[in-house]
Chains A and B, each alone.
Chain A
Amino acid sequence: MADAMGAVREWYRERRGRLDLFDETMVTKQDNPFFLLGPMLYYFWLVTVVTGVVLMFWYEPTPAGAYNSILHIQHEVPLGWLWRGMHKYAADGVIICIILRIYRQYFLGEYKKPGELTWIWSFLGLVLAMISGITGYLLIWNQRAFWAAKTVLTVPVYFDELTAKIPVIGEQFQVGSMIAYLFLGGPAVGAATLTRFYALHFGISLVLLIVMELFVYRTRRVRLNMSLVPVVVFTAMLVLISWVLPAELGRRADPNRTPLPILSDWYFLGLYQYVKYTPPLWAGLGPGLLIGFGMMAPFLDRSKGRRPLERPFFFVAGLLSLTYWIAFTILILFNIAVIEREPPMVLLTTAIVLGLAFIWEIRYRRRQARAPALPPPPKAAAHAHS
């Protein structure tokens, strides 16, 4: 027991020095824009927090007042459109940066020792950003928001099917409904839901800001580690896009009518299409398992190299996930899915592609094993195999 604790502590001690929340230790690589993603993420996040606080001056978190207050902010409050646009687009920027950064870390093998902690934090960040996103867009109280809140929080109710299988206490133990009710503030979407979502939307960023400040205090790192030029460029971009493409409002929430078609915010579209394909229990379990496996990637991927072609299976798995995400998004955007036909096709494709990737991995490892015992310098090796 004490040994295990000691081992964990040792493991953590070896890695914490390399924990990067926003790529602070990679400043020298910033001539490559992919290594600007960390500071960009931090910058967009700060813009979101600041503009969010400004919006709180006018926003009214009640079912009757929410939509009206946002109409007011958008059209009547001086510069309201700017604050709202910057809030929305900077939040999109946060999500884009997190996603691109996760794929960069994945394809460059940055999650391997000693980068595991950074990787896990990136994933936690993605989850929290998505929760902030969904709690945020309910606040508008438009159709998209209302139905998103209702469907997302009906998903956990199906976990009751799982817990009901526990003997003796199973029937009583309705964790899924409990989760849903705690978030909704009751078994219906209403005033309590709005209050709770409002608190979470702000609370997540507040807590993370404190964590970030503690981190900076302990490590003495520089907060926004990029030059002034990108900061100015991104600010100008945010202002310009808020002006050219004002953040949309949608239609006021109507609990008695679901419009056809109805879409979620862009980063949920792939997931939304997936939910159409699967039984509702898997609508919750699937993404949960996917995130779980994603976080565990450093511990599952035992290959030695960091280059994509040196670990074929995980390289292909990453490409496949990206392809599905984009394909599902396209299917739902153009409403061209035939949901009877596609799930078997998707499963079959996944099995075949992952199977082939596995064979590739085995062959690659065999070839590596047959290679001379003294490995040539890494650059030459990569050359010989490509």
Chain B
Amino acid sequence: MSKDDKTVNRRRFLKVAAGLPITAGLVAFASPLLRFLKPNVDPFALITPTSHDAPTGQPVVAATMDELKSPWDFKYFVYTQKYPQYTPDGFKTAAVPGVVIRLPNKIKMPWDWVKPVFKETPTVSETDIVAFSRICPHLGCIYNFVRDWKEVTAGYGGYVPPQQRQHSLMACPCHLSIYDPADPTMPGRVLSGPAPRPPRTFYYTVESDRILAKFVEPGGIA
């Protein structure tokens, strides 16, 4: 009996002795294999996937002041960014569609994100011009600026805004999130639908007569 036990033990010992280097070899392959799929990961950095995936963009003229004279004037613009892309080129230029809106009243700009990421301190804190990224913060479709709120009710899931919000709204065709661009405390507040947060904003400066969209709040998939 005791002889049998010994044989089993020796077998188990040999199994472990052979298994360990094989397992170690497989584990050693994990990092290169991941980098085959995602070349911009640092070697052995398995848990910090996104540090190299930040896009970069160039300032673009969103609109001139003439185009936004009266309340609820708006203009669509396109801000292009270079995104990392795992192709031989390594990069892809993708558009971030934006909308710049003249609001009827001044609101506080939600620009807390500008300083930590882009090292620039906004000089303006309250204004009546706001610029949003039109990439829906929910799942990335392009939402629309809808001049007449009745169109929102008719086409975007039957939402009827309360009295004080019956003005132009923003609404997404995919999952019917509805945003209020003129909310005084949170521009782009979610009024209805599944979106978890207001749309991302652009940081802009006004130079002579032109509104220059400089950065867009990071996050999401383009």
Contact = CB atoms under 8 A, between A and B. Distances in A.
**For the side of the interface on B, what is the size category?**
35 or more
A259 B174 CA distance: 8
A190 B47 contact: no
A17 to B, nearest CB: 29
B176 interface: yes
Interface residues of A, number: 48
Interface stretch (A101-109, A218-226, A237-245, A273-281): A273-281
B141 A153 contact: no
A337 interface: yes
Contact of B221 (A153, A260, A275, A280): A153
Interface stretch (B17-25, B155-163, B181-189): B155-163
B143 A280 contact: no
B83 A187 contact: yes
Interface string B92-114: 10110100000000000000000
Interface stretch (B58-66, B121-129, B190-198, B200-208): B190-198
B71 interface: no
A339 interface: yes
Contacts of B38: 178, 181-182
A302 interface: no
A191 B87 contact: yes
Interface of B is mostly: loop
Given A178-B49, A255-B94, A154 B173 contact: no
Nearest to A338: B158
Given A192-B87, A258-B173, A151 B193 contact: no
Interface in A175-196: 177-178, 180-182, 184-192, 195
A155 interface: yes
Contacts of A188: 55, 83, 85, 92, 94, 221-222
Given A187-B222, A189-B221, A190-B83, A258 B49 contact: no
A357 B199 CA distance: 43
A256 B173 contact: no
A180 B87 contact: no
B7 interface: no
Given A188-B92, A190-B85, A339-B192, 8 more contacts: A151-B140, A151-B175, A177-B49, A182-B38, A186-B53, A260-B173, A276-B157, A340-B192
25 contacts: A147-B141, A150-B140, A151-B139, A151-B175, A154-B138, A154-B220, A155-B139, A178-B50, A182-B38, A185-B85, A188-B94, A189-B94, A190-B83, A190-B85, A190-B87, A191-B92, A192-B85, A255-B142, A258-B172, A259-B173, A276-B194, A283-B139, A337-B157, A337-B158, A338-B157
